[in-house]
Amino acid sequence: MAVARLARLVLGPGAVRGRGAVAGSLPRCAGPGRAPRRLFSNRNILVELEEGAGVAVMKMKSPPVNSLSLDFLTEFSISLEKLENDRGCRGVILTSGNCPAGGCLMAVSCDYRIMAENPKYSIGLNETQLGIVAPFWFKDTMVNTIGHRATERSLQLGLLYSASDALKIGIVDELVPEEKVLNAAAATMSQWLAIPDYARQISKSMMRKPTLDRMLTHRESDIQNFVSFVTKDSIQKSLQTYMERLKQRKG
């Protein structure tokens, strides 16, 4: 598999909240000098958990762009839940390619972001370029990451940032050569896991809980608002125009 363009770190205990029983049905493998690893995979996601370090790597494998389809997101959620319920997993490294829209949200939801120093990759919330509006919880998460004014400008213009600009504005935390992304992510994970899990997780929850609570409280109304908005004829025409432009670029 190609080296990841962007690596994101999600730190536990677990990846998020729960601490359940280990699945126990995952295959194990170990090579010379390597710690035992447990693997599981589905059509769109490959997960490898190194038991000694307690760190899992989730590789997205839905070419060409790892689009966030319903099938992809379902498999992603199932894989993350398996790791969350695995007592041996303390942190997760996610890897992907370019990160527009939902991919950007996934990145800024993580604890630390490392991006390949390559001009062909970009990241940002570009919904307005499609004629649609980013949900409020996209906005809230982005504000938490880069601040109010930078988020306002990014959302209104639908900006996609190059690696250097993403670092400057704070969407990513570090740039490295593409072939060193995973090694840099593993080194950073070791630094974060040197902090006691309990103290680090409480600190993380203290910072993020208000945003999560607001999202959960307004989840159903947000879904209804989105469906009502995106099914309007004018919005459908705008989306069609955008897709036609993309086809022309590829052609």
CA distance 67 to 98: 10
- The strand pair at 55-60 and 112-116 is best described as unpaired
pLDDT in tens, 154-205: 999 999 999 999 999 999 999 999 989 989 999 999 999 999 988 998 999 9
pLDDT for res 144? 93
Most confident of 13-27, 51-65, 120-134: 120-134
Higher-confidence residue of 122 and 51: namely 122
Query: What's the pLDDT at 21?
Result: 20
Percent over 70 (pLDDT), the chain: 79
Cβ neighbors of 61 (< 8 A, separation 6 or more) are: 1, 44, 45, 46
Q: Classify 110 in phi/psi space as left (phi over 0), alpha (psi -120 to 50) or beta.
A: beta
Rounded to whole angstroms, how far apart are CA atoms 119 and 137? 29
Q: Are 44 and 65 in contact (CB under 8 A)?
A: no
> Which pLDDT score, from 0 to 100, does residue 11 have?
52
Q: Are 192 and 203 in contact (CB under 8 A)?
A: no
Q: What is the DSSP string of 174-222?
A: EEE-GGGHHHHHHHHHHHHHTS-HHHHHHHHHHHHHHHHHHHHHTHHHH
Strands 6-11 and 91-96: antiparallel
pLDDT of 244 above 80: no
Checking if the pLDDT of 246 tops 70, the result is no
Q: pTM of the full predicted structure?
A: 0.77
